[in-house]
Amino acid sequence: MEWLLFVPLAALALGTAAFVILLRNPIYCALALVGTFFALSGLYLLLQAEFVAVVQVIIYAGAIMVLFLFVIMLLDVGHEPPPWLRRDRPRLLLGLGLVALLVLELAVAIGSWIAPGIRGPYTSDYVNAVGNTQLIGRLLFTEFLIPFEITSIILLIAIVGAMVLARRQ
Amino acid sequence: MTQAFNMADLSTALPEVVLSLVAMVILMLDFIVPKGRRDWLGYLSVLGVLLTLMVLCRQWGATQSAFSGQYLIDPFALFFKILFLASGGLIILMSIGYLRGEGADSGEFYALILFATLGMMLMASAVDLLILYIGLETMSICIYVLAGFLKRERRSNEAALKYLLMGGFSSAIILYGIVMLYGLTGATGLKEIASTLTADTLSNPALILAMVMLAAGFGFKIAAVPFHMYIPDVYEGAPTPITALLAAASEIAGLVILLRVFLVAIPGLQDRWALLFYVLSLLTMTVGNVVAIAQSNIKRMLAYSSIAHIGYLLIGVVAGRELGISATLLYTVVYALMTLGAFAMVILLCVGEVKGERIDDFAGLAQRSPMAAAAMLILLLSLAGVPPTAGFVGKLYLFGAAIERGYILLALIAVVNSAISLFYYMKVAVAMYMRDLPPAGLALSPSRPLRVVLFVTVVGTLAIGIYPGPFLDLAKSSIAGLW
């Protein structure tokens, strides 16, 4: 049954992601990326990760992409012709060849995936029993305390950096 | 599994807490101290670094894991934390006079250097891929901003943008590697990863792919050939103290996480990654040295020379075991000292209109300032690896380790490379001693902090060169229990 939802969502994610790089107008590209985020959020729902799904929509599709759109509109980014209309065919072909090789390599590698890995304590049943959001909150402040705290320092650095680079000298 | 926060964990991270508090205090004081007197923030930052060093030294000899086993203090981490803090302190001292000369003195510059140092310290203690990556980003984001700090200089803008793009790109490659490792083993802890990999999963192509991705991503961070193309432009355009930070500290931090991941998480693949680093090392030192010959800008020349030195450092990684890794540790100290000294000399020559960036600017330095010329000569000899300097001792142990483990060809090529490097280092020495002072040459007036930096680096270079015993013992004891 899951396949009925997974296949269209995955196709939507891949298709919109392709549009992000194929479309000419940067605004359309940004809107296509919003579509990708929605499709991904649907995939997260399928994985029973409701919190991540909602956060994906609120933060990525909502806040970050709206900011992107504003920046694109304010800067009035020119409409660059897509790469296949430019006259550097050999480079394009070389790039496509390398992509094909990488895809093949990944396919072989993932096809040979035999390592079983550690089974963590967080099975779907456990997560549903405790509650998705509660569990993430608890983990952030216990097991992942130090990465969580360092991330706050990274945000501070980013704010200071943006201010340093943006203010007038 | 999920243990609550406790004070014992916090005390293991006390040096990092102190350093971040110092950086935040500097940020706040920046509003109070008027422009033109912000030198004091620089001196205060150095005091903060010294304070952190004092707190850090209480962890001497201790081994303790904290924060659910993601964070580890051990002699290996301590060794590099001391190195990073010392480099950070020297770089702040260099910056004080430099920023005044550029008319850009500000507290944020010092605070960001402190935060970058914090990121490196986290990388040194990380035994979990998650923290390792977050530490790496902490360091990188600081350096992106610092590289573009001189906003009116086009080259500085270019350096920041190039470094941002290549840094983001290489971080993505590292993340791919991390994700594949996690997918294969279900663990992010380095020890846990090693314990899940059994003999029949070790030959899994997906694992090899993860290893190659990690090696490529770290290759960007340590500027190994062929991942080095952005390095010369970034080194040339960034403010000189930040170039020193990139060369002497950030690359070594990259090497630290490389050592941890490859030695602790996937030691079973040593045959394969030793081969990979063999090729990287060979390419890196050869390309670095050969291209450096053609440079006329000293910052570009030092950029290629630092690439070459990364190649030498990788020899130790290839050789492996106690001998190779301890030689690598010793050489990181040597490399940091002489690189910091060389960039301090470049800053010293920033007088008036002359930016001290062309090798021609070194012409007649022996007449302008015999002391400065002598200091530069010692640093150059050390970079080239001539006795009795630290560079010689460091290379001796590195090449010796390679020969001991049967990598005769690699050691031979490294020796040939050292001979090539002598050529371009001596080009600077010839300019200093054999050529006449250009008529426009002004008297040098090094600021007091810059003199301290030159003194420390030159004396350190000579001390390790003449009496390497204690430093080698320290390097050896620092890798005990690493894998």
pLDDT digits (tens, 9 = 90+) for B270-305: 989 999 999 999 999 999 999 999 998 999 999 999
Minimal Cα–Cα distance from B402 to chain A, Å? Answer: 33
If you write DSSP's letter for every residue of B368-381 in order, what string do you get?
Answer: H-HHHHHHHHHHHH
Minimal Cα–Cα distance from A109 to chain B, Å? Answer: 4
Give residue B442's pLDDT band: very low, low, confident or very high (50, 70, 90).
low
Mean pLDDT for each consecutive 10-residue tract of chain A (169 residues)?
90 94 85 93 90 92 88 76 66 89 86 71 80 88 90 95 83
- SS3 state at B358: strand
pLDDT in tens, A32-52: 999 999 999 999 999 888 899
Tokens of B289: 């040295």
Q: What is the pLDDT of residue B258?
A: 96
Residue of B nearest to A138 (CA): B2
Pick B151's closest partner by Cβ from A138, A144, A165: A165
Q: What is the pLDDT of residue A83?
A: 57
Average pLDDT of the residues in B238-250: 94
CB pair distance less than 8 Å for B67 and A120: no
Pick A112's closest partner by Cβ from B68, B141, B205: B205
A152 touches chain B (CB under 8 A): no
Give residue B360's pLDDT band: very low, low, confident or very high (50, 70, 90).
confident
Minimal Cα–Cα distance from A7 to chain B, Å? Answer: 22
First to last CA, chain A: 60
Give the phi and the psi of residue B60 in degrees, each rounded to 5. Answer: -55, 125
Is residue B480 predicted with pLDDT exceeding 90? no
CB pair distance less than 8 Å for A113 and B112: no
Is residue B362 predicted with pLDDT exceeding 90? no
The residue that leads in pLDDT, B408 or B183, is B408
**Range from A132-146, B359-373, B395-409, B440-454 carrying the lowest mean pLDDT:** B440-454
Which amino acid is it at B311?
Answer: G
Tokens of B61: 């000899």
CA angle B470, B476, B482 (to 5 degrees): 150
Give contacts of B185 with chain A, Cβ < 8 Å: 115, 117-118
First to last CA, chain B: 24
Q: Which of A123, A157, A159, A169 to mutate to test the interface with B (most CBs of B within 10 A)?
A: A157
Is residue B3 predicted with pLDDT exceeding 60? no
pLDDT in tens, B197-242: 887 778 888 888 899 999 999 999 999 989 999 999 999 999 999 9
Q: Mean pLDDT score of chain B, rounded to an integer?
A: 91
Give contacts of A157 with chain B, Cβ < 8 Å: 112, 115, 138, 141-142, 145
Give contacts of A127 with chain B, Cβ < 8 Å: none
Minimal Cα–Cα distance from B429 to chain A, Å? Answer: 38
Q: How far apart are CA B173 and CA B217, in angstroms?
A: 5
Tell me how far the alpha carbon of residue B198 is from its chain's centroid. Answer: 34
- Please report which helix (H) or strand (E) contains residue B66, including its range: strand B64-66
Q: Is the dihedral of CA B217, B221, B223, B224 positive or negative?
A: negative
CB pair distance less than 8 Å for B145 and A161: yes
The residue that leads in pLDDT, A52 or B446, is A52
Q: Is the dihedral of CA A10, A12, A14, A17 positive or negative?
A: negative
Give residue B97's pLDDT band: very low, low, confident or very high (50, 70, 90).
confident
Minimal Cα–Cα distance from A89 to chain B, Å? Answer: 23
Give contacts of B138 with chain A, Cβ < 8 Å: 150, 153-154, 157
Pick B115's closest partner by Cβ from A118, A157, A169: A157
Is residue B450 predicted with pLDDT exceeding 70? yes
Q: How far apart are CA B376 and CA B379, in angstroms?
A: 5
**Range from B320-334, B402-416, B431-445 carrying the lowest mean pLDDT:** B431-445
Give contacts of B131 with chain A, Cβ < 8 Å: 146-147, 150
Q: How far apart are CA A10 and CA B441, in angstroms?
A: 67
Give residue B1's pLDDT band: very low, low, confident or very high (50, 70, 90).
very low
Residue of B nearest to A119 (CA): B186
pLDDT in tens, B379-425: 999 999 998 899 999 999 999 999 999 999 999 999 999 999 999 99
**Range from B70-79, B159-168, B437-446 carrying the lowest mean pLDDT:** B437-446
Q: What is the pLDDT of residue B95?
A: 93
DSSP state of A86: S
Pick A115's closest partner by Cβ from B67, B137, B184: B184
Preceding amide of B34 cis, omega within 30: no
If you write DSSP's letter for every residue of B245-298 in order, what string do you get?
Answer: IIIIIIHHHHHHHHHHIIIII-GGGHHHHHHHHHHHHHHHHHHHHHHHHT--BH
Q: What is the pLDDT of residue B36?
A: 81
CB pair distance less than 8 Å for A143 and B145: no
pLDDT in tens, B29-87: 998 988 888 889 999 999 999 999 999 999 888 888 888 889 999 999 999 999 999 99
Minimal Cα–Cα distance from B455 to chain A, Å? Answer: 32
> Which numeric CATH code is attached to A1-83?
1.20.120.1200
pLDDT in tens, B103-144: 788 889 999 999 999 999 999 999 999 999 999 999 999 999
Q: What is the pLDDT of residue A82?
A: 61
Q: How far apart are CA A48 and CA A132, in angstroms?
A: 8
**Sequence spans of domains, chain A:** 1-83, 129-169
Q: What is the pLDDT of residue B447?
A: 84
Q: What is the pLDDT of residue B18?
A: 96
A105 touches chain B (CB under 8 A): yes
Average pLDDT of the residues in B177-185: 89
**Cβ distance B272 to B169 under 8 Å?**
no
**Cβ distance B375 to B389 under 8 Å?**
no
A167 touches chain B (CB under 8 A): no
Give the phi and the psi of residue B128 in degrees, each rounded to 5. Answer: -140, 135
Pick A150's closest partner by Cβ from B111, B122, B201: B122
